[in-house]
Amino acid sequence: MSHERLNRKSNRNIKLALVANPSHLEAVDPVVQGKTRAEQFYLGDVQGKKVMSILLHGDAAFAGQGVVYETFHLSELPDYSTHGTVHIVVNNQIGFTTDPREARSSPYCTDVARVVNAPIFHVNADDPEAVVHVSKVAAEWRAKFGKDVVIDLVCYRRNGHNEIDEPMFTQPLMYTKIRSTTPAVHKYAKKLIAENVVTEEYVKQLWEKYDNILTEAYKNTEKEVKMYNRDWLDSPWHGFFGTRSEHKCDPTGVDEDTLCHISTKFSTPPPDPFKIHPGLKRILKSRLEMVQNRQLDWALAEALAFGSLLKEGIHVRLSGQDVERGTFSHRHHVLHHQTMDKSTYRPLCHLYPDQAPYTVCNSSLSEYGVLGFELGFSMTNPNALVMWEAQFGDFNNTAQCIIDQFICSGQAKWVRQSGLVLLLPHGMEGMGPEHSSARPERFLQLCAVDSDEFPVIDEYFPLKQLHDINMIVANCSTPANMFHILRRQIALPFRKPLVVFTPKSLLRHPQCKSSFDELLPGTEFRRLIPDETEPITTNPSGVKRIILCTGKVYYELKKERQQRGLDGTVAIVRVEQLCPFPFDLLRDELSKYPDADLLWTQEEHKNQGYWSYVQPLIQSTLRHLNMESKKFNYAGRAVSASPATGNKHIHKKEIEKLFADSFSGL
Ligand SMILES: Cc1ncc(C[n+]2csc(CCOP(=O)(O)OP(=O)(O)O)c2C)c(N)n1
């Protein structure tokens, strides 16, 4: 929520926005910073002279929560700086019932701020004039140097935690003292009266005036009989919601000329005399060959999605560890001059003279802080594609608090929309327990889906589903689908967080290519991809088994099917949008092969991946079709405590079993 009013001293309007904050202490810090950065960015406020953030902290949380440290480390990074934040620590020398001797190892609760050499003012909060003085110095510091500054308000908490707890249970000596201490406001009034600065009568009047303001405001709340969502939003996206029909998603296809232009620019080395690495020359050359063949791989799909949005005036921001090159070296969005320091070339910034800005930025090695930051960034402008990529999908769990408290539940709790995209590299490729799984099961468990009910299907169903869901979860198996789902984030008439499990080996898989034809006007994101191979399309009655799957395992199953001579017997159907679930398309698919049995095959272990999520959804669809008696089973790895084995031999054996189970009995 926010409030805007005239500041009589500067004669300027000042808007104060309060960012919605979960119970999780300090979690909001990076969110505030991201939002501040975005406000500055879209206002062209490159020095942070128009927008700034103030972060309020508790002493125990400031010292104890690691996200505070992560947030400080963003403060001076080129694409994350907010040009100085004023931190105010309400240091009441207690955290719930814990006193500082048990709450931290550093002498001061504010010592974490020393990592950026921020000035820290420890001030006696019982001395209001000292507090005002220190606050002025802090504000001047921030204005002059554009760097963080900390005010440590050394004070006490008069009552127990939450005002109702009994502090004498745990801090009897301290609270005996506090109870005999005159409150700061009375102390200060007494001092001013003694110094003849004010009279007793003046103080009394001031008290009454203040009391009346509060009483009146409280009474006014009773007159409010209606609640409007817009009153709770500090950036209500007027131009966005006012102008769009909720029932219409803009097309995501793009014309051939635009595709050719962007992909050629993206595949062309920078103009002379910029010297790029010879390996990159080869990469760009093979990219260009692909473009000439009207084909695209994953890197081109990303570039075409970003580039076409930039052309349409949409700001694109991609942030995360090593995103500029890409963890798997597939992207190369920032090219480095081989003999000149700090000289770089960003092809996607040179597509059109009037394009929107493209931001691609390697982040610090943080997930919690950086994901929170990007979430905050995404809340400011609906006409921006803001993405956070994890180095490997596994690492998203160090940002679990942002996912749980903000991303999956933010709209339900705070009527706040965000179109933030999470790109999570995922896939069982024999890399061992640590780099295999983005934990799809966790994201799917967070989706507000009723798996027992087959929904009413009409022409608005796909969009209505998206409108009603808390977040979209997808696993794209083709570059074209990745292109469309990214563009759809902006084409939608509302904003939803999108979680995409992205590939590793598929980045270079010879079969994981799409044609420009799949991106042209009239094409769109495919929530489910039916089996469109021969002879299945011409002879569906030959199909004895339907394998439903998602992601990379499709390519492996397809190859195995061919080797086993089962091309006409097994239909392999890909669920690309896991949530919301494509009930309508699955219904159509199951109806095509009424006599076939049904399998869900996944490469993830049985207690992980998608099985627990899809099983009841598929069963509801079967019930709807009166096909409850159809054989429907799971094929894949057994349950496991760890996401993957670290033993190559076992990995291979597991895949062999997955194939054996998937094609058994045929
Ligand atoms: C991440 C997190 N862990 C635990 C809690 C439970 N909790 C609520 S208040 C509190 C103490 C906070 O102390 P401090 O930071 O000094 O702030 P104060 O309440 O004294 O202003 C705790 C532990 C929480 N809200 N968030």
Tens digits of per-residue pLDDT, 134-184?
999 999 999 999 999 999 999 999 999 988 899 999 999 999 999 999 999
* Same structural domain, 502 and 533: no
C-alpha distance across the termini of the chain, in Å: 61
pLDDT at residue 578, as a whole number: 98
pLDDT at residue 560, as a whole number: 98
Question: Which residue of 94, 96, 161 sits with most ligand 1 atoms within 8 Å of its CB, as the best mutation to test the pocket?
Answer: 96
pLDDT at residue 561, as a whole number: 98
pLDDT at residue 505, as a whole number: 93
User: What are the backbone angles phi and psi of residue 611, rounded to the nearest 5°?
Assistant: -55, -50
* Same structural domain, 399 and 350: yes
Decide if 233 is inside a domain: no
pLDDT at residue 226, as a whole number: 87
* Same structural domain, 377 and 421: yes
Ligand 1 centre to CA of 95 (Å) is 6
Write out the DSSP string of 548-594: EE-TTHHHHHHHHHHHTT-TTTEEEEEE-EEES--HHHHHHHHHH-T
Ligand 1 atom nearest to CA at 24: 26
Ligand 1 centre to CA of 187 (Å) is 29
pLDDT at residue 244, as a whole number: 77
* Same structural domain, 481 and 556: no
Q: What CATH number is associated with residue 118? A: 3.40.50.970
Q: What CATH number is associated with residue 279? A: 3.40.50.12470
Which has the closest alpha carbon to 294: 254, 265, 252, 259?
259
* Same structural domain, 329 and 262: yes
564: CB partners within 8 A, 6+ apart: 663, 666
Question: Which residue of 21, 23, 25 sits with most ligand 1 atoms within 8 Å of its CB, as the best mutation to test the pocket?
Answer: 25
Ligand 1 centre to CA of 40 (Å) is 31
Ligand 1 centre to CA of 419 (Å) is 30
pLDDT at residue 76, as a whole number: 97
Q: List pLDDT tens digits, range 222-232.
A: 998 888 877 77
pLDDT at residue 553, as a whole number: 98
* Same structural domain, 23 and 140: yes
Last residue of a domain, one of 461, 495, 519: 519
* Same structural domain, 513 and 549: no
Decide if 35 is inside a domain: yes
Last residue of a domain, one of 159, 181, 203: 181
Q: What is the CA radius of gyration of the chain?
A: 29
Ligand 1 centre to CA of 60 (Å) is 7
pLDDT at residue 523, as a whole number: 98
Decide if 231 is inside a domain: no
Decide if 609 is inside a domain: yes
Q: What CATH number is associated with residue 580? A: 3.40.50.11610
State how far the Cα of 549 lies from the Cα of 531, in Å rounded to an integer: 11
* Same structural domain, 515 and 536: no
* Same structural domain, 162 and 41: yes
Decide if 372 is inside a domain: yes
Decide if 408 is inside a domain: yes
* Same structural domain, 90 and 48: yes
* Same structural domain, 331 and 352: yes
State how far the Cα of 494 lies from the Cα of 237, in Å rounded to an integer: 10
Which has the closest alpha carbon to 363: 391, 341, 344?
391
Ligand 1 centre to CA of 374 (Å) is 24
Q: Which spans in 66-162 are helix H?
A: 66-74, 100-103, 128-145
What is the chain's mean pLDDT, rounded? 96
Prior bond to 273 cis, omega within 30?
A: yes
Report the amino acid identity of residue 306. Answer: F
Count Cβ atoms within 10 A of the Cβ of residue 290 and give its class: 0-12 exposed, 13-18 middle, 19 or more buried: middle
* Same structural domain, 169 and 262: no
User: What are the backbone angles phi and psi of residue 265, rounded to the nearest 5°?
Assistant: -60, -40
pLDDT at residue 345, as a whole number: 97
Decide if 250 is inside a domain: no
State how far the Cα of 362 lies from the Cα of 649, in Å rounded to an integer: 36
Look up the domain containing 382 and give its range: 256-426+475-519
User: What are the backbone angles phi and psi of residue 88, rounded to the nearest 5°?
Assistant: -120, 120
What was the ipTM of the complex prediction? Answer: 0.98
**What is the CA angle 119-122-123, rounded to 5?**
130
Last residue of a domain, one of 137, 156, 181: 181
State how far the Cα of 174 lies from the Cα of 167, in Å rounded to an integer: 9
Report the amino acid identity of residue 21. Answer: N
**What is the CA angle 131-133-139, rounded to 5?**
100
Ligand 1 atom nearest to CA at 61: 15
Residues of the chain with pLDDT under 70: none
Q: 3-class SS at 406?
A: helix
Decide if 28 is inside a domain: yes
State how far the Cα of 632 lies from the Cα of 411, in Å rounded to an integer: 36
Q: Supply the residue whose CA is at minimum distance from atom 2 of ligand 1.
A: 24
State how far the Cα of 431 lies from the Cα of 645, in Å rounded to an integer: 8
Query: Domain tally for the chain?
Result: 3
